[in-house]
Structure 1
Amino acid sequence: MLDETDQRLLAALQKNAHLTAQELSEMLNLSASQAGRRRQRLEAEGYIVNYAARLDPKRLGLNVQAFVQVQLGTHGPDQAKSFASLIGRRPEVISAWTLTGDADYLLRVYCADLSALNQLIHEVLLPHPAVSRVQSQIVMDQFKQDAPLPT
């Protein structure tokens, strides 16, 4: 179980993973060693999965963000495994979900331009033997950035 201090520690690290044990101790009213031990315990218990830097897609030349819905024509374990393998190898697909409803998968993609998005859809996704339909929505503006999880 997470207590209030654990929740505050997780919230602080989601905002800034670079916080030192000393900085956490000041925020949580603990000693630096207690704050460090709590962080280590939360890592060991799997609450903290990893630490990562958020990059600016535009600075990297990734000017098009889109959500792509994929519907499979055949739904067997081999087709699902094959499609998941394909998606796992595509760097422009930054996250993927299986869904209920009309679409079987939702992909979040970043591409350099519309031509690259078109290529991904028509030369990678649609040729897959299990795929029957692909629908994309291009992001016009992201007014809320990916937020920390509620703690």
Structure 2
Amino acid sequence: MDDFDLTANDRAILRVLQQDSRLSNAQLAERVGMSASACWRRVRMLEEAGVIAGYGAIVDPDRAGLEFHAIVHVRLVRHDRDAVKRVMTDLAARPEVVECYATTGQSDYHLRVLCADMAAYRRFLDDFLFRQPAIESAQTNVVLEEIKRRGVVPV
């Protein structure tokens, strides 16, 4: 379903669910101006098409004890398929890495890393990141203030 066309009702459903995914189907239907049965069918269709990728709680990292936030720019020394695959697999498995993007430009990857404190981040670097044979360098930008944490997809 790569060519899934969103209707106006689909977009309304997505906007409301991004604000509060705990609404009952009846509440959701009322907010978007649809019948409950039609709303339920559209939500199921959006889920099956992969437009709705999942549901979950939004956790405040600071209140959860993860007060060290960094953006880490990683450059690889090797770009052969096996080295890249291993780095991607290893990064994806680390709980400190909450986001990882392969990009163009000077860095190969940009990571959003959350840790309890600077000491935990040092352990992440020393015990994991710097032990990756394909990683040439990692530049850390410490996040001083979050201006916008949770982005909503503008549907």
TM superposition score normalised by structure 1: 0.96
Matched, 1:25 2:21: no
Q: How does 1:93-112 map to 2 (within 5 A)?
A: 93-112=97-116
- Matched to 1:95, the amino acid is E
Q: Distance in 1 between matches of 2:56 and 2:108?
A: 29
Which segments of 5 or more consecutive residues in structure 1 lack a partner in the other structure? none
TM-superposed CA distance for 1:9, in Å, is: 0.5
Output one character per residue of 1:69-112: Cα deviation in whole Å (capped at 9) or x when no partner: 11011110011011112112211101101011110011111000
Q: Which runs of 4+ in 1 moved over 3 A?
A: none
SS at match of 2:83: helix
- Matched to 2:17, the amino acid is L
Counterpart residue number, 2:154:
150
CA RMSD of aligned residues (A): 1.0
1:136 paired residue among 137, 140, 151: 140
Counterpart residue number, 2:75:
71
The count of residues paired between Structure 1 and Structure 2 equals 151
TM superposition score normalised by structure 2: 0.93
TM-superposed CA distance for 1:60, in Å, is: 1.6
TM-superposed CA distance for 1:33, in Å, is: 1.1
Output one character per residue of 1:23-78: Cα deviation in whole Å (capped at 9) or x when no partner: 11211221111111111111111110100111111122101111111101111001
Output one character per residue of 1:121-148: Cα deviation in whole Å (capped at 9) or x when no partner: 2321112111111101111110212111
SS at match of 2:128: helix
